[in-house]
Structure 1
């Protein structure tokens, strides 16, 4: 898979528009930045808003399978994004973004209207296609902005996601407390439609095209089948029994499908995963450690959301029964710290290496989970100990992309970032299902809805910490890499292994 577009002709004067394009007034580029940042903010905001709303959704539809509300979207986006990025290279980035946005708007609208759990999951399947828009946004910025605007535009799009950490909790609280989960779903549907209109009206098509090559359909089906079988088998293990033949069949089938995927990737001309790059032990360790770390951390955040927002019913449910607004207030300082971590990672990476921040982040997050395991009953405990998890998460999320910059050549950056997203998505889906399986093992089912006990929350914190410990072990064995400043300068000096 290649996600790198052909470079622009360097004979263009510095700061000029790409050859064949007209230089526009400043106002045009400001509007263009807004049009590209809008869907990025909506997509990042949806994770927080829906994470907070899923407790109400589970209780409304009386389902014990609420994990699939996010899992199905994660799986679809993880498996579809590589194909859609390749299609964008061949047929046009804007064209693919528009098609994915239309599908996303339809999916979000159906979610808001869904009268049944089955239709809700079908709609969430469609929403998974929408995730490619963010992946393509950064690429199209480089293609349609003049050189002097590229850095500014990329920074605006990237930092716009900070609105999620700052405004997201408050918005989520207001919507959920005043309009219920339907209000959250309608907010996302309306803003997805606005993003589509801005994209169609203001964003030009990229003038760059990649070579038309075949799609690795077999590899995609095997990887998708492997991830789905593993996730489904883990989810059903607590219901069927871990030694049950059906559970073992799904788990074994997932492993066999993955092994077949590896064989196929070594043989096809244009693999979904570039085997030549993954043969580098350093890069493979980076992708596994950062992908597993980020995936588990996103999954572990679900525990806090469920604990805070589920009702407190003596003998049945050990949730804390906070409103969404109360929950937002408890975590606002942690959100700010999470944002600041990105600056810290950049400073350290330029002097030493982002391996330091990755290892530190994983260790701090593990401590945060273990402390929360024992202290999660009072508001002051979330205020005091919550920043540990937030700082750990911020360091890990910011370190992965920087480590990739440090480890691979410039021409392989886009491809490897796509692989990192793919691995992170699969591992996030698996870790999410592990956490929900642990919760469900100690849940009480009332009117078709799982209500979680304190023992379940404690076991979930322990499971998340154990998975992060595995990621930490991988991170410790990452071979030495260049610092970010040397990598950015494309230093020809070989990196010690």
Structure 2
């Protein structure tokens, strides 16, 4: 083990920790429900609003330029404050921060649902992101400290990973259903869930002891500003270009601030992010692979959502339902992985999952305007979902494996941050590839249009333009899918080569021979 990794004595003793809980084993199922309900609510909110955006634009008077901020400001607040949210949980109590985060998220959901102006909506969405950043890392940490290592924790992680992986697809489904009623229900749906979760969490989950040390203010400032600047730069690149001055400026400022953050963390007595956490080989590998896989997955939702609505002509509700098999596939695969993890090393489960996911993503490269959902899309959705489910469960376990008790929330926050930044990075990168190839295809097809002769009718012109638009979209998207498939394949190779933790070690939470770093 590397010198920065916690010693065996520092690692949580699962038997001691669990015996100290006043929540008997029969309440573990309810504890898991509470934690996963909160996680699902937070994750799906990243996509549930997408389908409602045209209605929000019309009702609240958003300009087209400002409409993207309904999504972007949530992403900025969530991604920027994740590390701070995790550290606050380690210092002042994970259940406390979890409940505060859920309560803040729920209150902000009410604010968004009753918003009457553009400004009110954006403030509410920012507060939602902050609430999510407090709750999400502490939700995962509560699983590691509530469930005993081995079979119970592996099953719990399987459900948690399924909720995290399927949340985006469930968001699209719910978004389609609720938008048909009223777009405000995309926010109001969080109220009963949030109130129930906050109420039960106080009674079911056991509070952790307050951690030692003090809050790293310089680290908090540089991490929040750096991550927010980076996320904004990546988001701006997706809507403009990588060479846009604003994009370059924000990416550069974000990089400088994050470098400053790392320097600060190596010098302060009580760092926001102890370098021993990402410095461990197992955890570092898990974080990096989650970033790559997240990059491919979130971009897939973006392009497929547009394809199903504009090319296949599905309604918002039907588009949401078209992603239902993805959610089912993730859940099934996560349960398979949670059972295999007791007998098979995580590298082989995640490696196999990456193989399936790569194949599924590659299958999307063959979509054309003439493709059908049942024969050309559904099989690849199922294969991709199954592969991602096999990836998420082992990596969620290994990302917090062997972490000292006082670091469990911040270790979980790093995992959430990698997924968030990965999704944003993937959307920016693959959107650039998509747009460049789309423009090339439009130019090529336009040049082939017959010149001269009888002028086409309006209907003929519209049909020709629709044909060019559809062909160009599927061509551009196919190139983006290909790059996404390569990214996932690279993640699989990295997993097989560098993830060397054994399944026996996961059964007792890292209290194993010190050979892991």
Whether the aligned pair in 1 keeps the contact of 2:94 and 2:409 (CA below 8 Å) is: no
Deviation per residue, 1:38-69 (Å, 9 max, x gap): 43443344345334444654676452565543
Structure 1 residue aligned with 2:219: 219
Structure 2 residue aligned with 1:130: 131
Q: How does 1:228-267 map to 2 (within 5 A)?
A: 228-237=228-237, 242-267=242-267
Whether the aligned pair in 2 keeps the contact of 1:294 and 1:396 (CA below 8 Å) is: no
Structure 1 residue aligned with 2:325: 333
Distance 1:366 1:174 in 2: 30
Structure 2 residue aligned with 1:488: 507
Q: How does 1:474-485 map to 2 (within 5 A)?
A: 474-477=491-494, 478-479=497-498, 481-485=500-504
Distance 1:273 1:300 in 2: 31
Q: Give SS of 2:189's match.
A: helix
Q: Give SS of 1:181's match.
A: coil
- CA-CA distance at 1:266 after TM superposition: 1.8
Moved more, 156-165 or 329-338: 156-165
Query: Does residue 379 in structure 1 map to residue 368 in structure 2?
Result: no
Distance 2:356 2:29 in 1: 39
Query: What is the TM-score of this pair, normalised by structure 1?
Result: 0.77
Going from structure 1 to structure 2, the CA distance change for 1:248 and 1:366 (only over 3 Å counts) comes to same
- CA-CA distance at 1:264 after TM superposition: 1.9
Going from structure 1 to structure 2, the CA distance change for 1:268 and 1:288 (only over 3 Å counts) comes to same
Whether the aligned pair in 1 keeps the contact of 2:298 and 2:426 (CA below 8 Å) is: no
Distance 2:237 2:169 in 1: 38
RMSD over equivalenced CA pairs, Å: 4.5
Q: How does 1:267-416 map to 2 (within 5 A)?
A: 267-281=267-281, 283-309=283-309, 318-375=310-367, 377=369, 378-380=372-374, 381-404=376-399, 408=402, 415-416=410-411
Distance 1:154 1:223 in 2: 30
Moved more, 291-300 or 56-65: 56-65
Query: Does residue 463 in structure 1 map to residue 467 in structure 2?
Result: no
- CA-CA distance at 1:288 after TM superposition: 0.9
Distance 1:340 1:93 in 2: 29
Distance 1:245 1:9 in 2: 51
Match of 2:189 among 182, 187, 190: 187
- CA-CA distance at 1:185 after TM superposition: 2.2
Whether the aligned pair in 2 keeps the contact of 1:6 and 1:210 (CA below 8 Å) is: no
Going from structure 1 to structure 2, the CA distance change for 1:172 and 1:438 (only over 3 Å counts) comes to same
Distance 1:224 1:460 in 2: 33
Distance 1:397 1:199 in 2: 25
Query: What is the TM-score of this pair, normalised by structure 2?
Result: 0.74
Distance 1:274 1:123 in 2: 32
Structure 1 residue aligned with 2:85: 84
Q: Give SS of 1:49's match.
A: coil
Whether the aligned pair in 2 keeps the contact of 1:111 and 1:124 (CA below 8 Å) is: yes
Going from structure 1 to structure 2, the CA distance change for 1:115 and 1:8 (only over 3 Å counts) comes to same
Going from structure 1 to structure 2, the CA distance change for 1:176 and 1:51 (only over 3 Å counts) comes to same
Distance 1:39 1:16 in 2: 25
Whether the aligned pair in 1 keeps the contact of 2:80 and 2:225 (CA below 8 Å) is: no
Going from structure 1 to structure 2, the CA distance change for 1:37 and 1:375 (only over 3 Å counts) comes to closer
Whether the aligned pair in 2 keeps the contact of 1:39 and 1:195 (CA below 8 Å) is: yes
Structure 2 residue aligned with 1:109: 110
Distance 2:240 2:315 in 1: 34
The structure, 1 or 2, with the larger RCO (C-alpha pairs under 8 Å, 6+ apart) is 2
Q: Give SS of 2:70's match.
A: helix
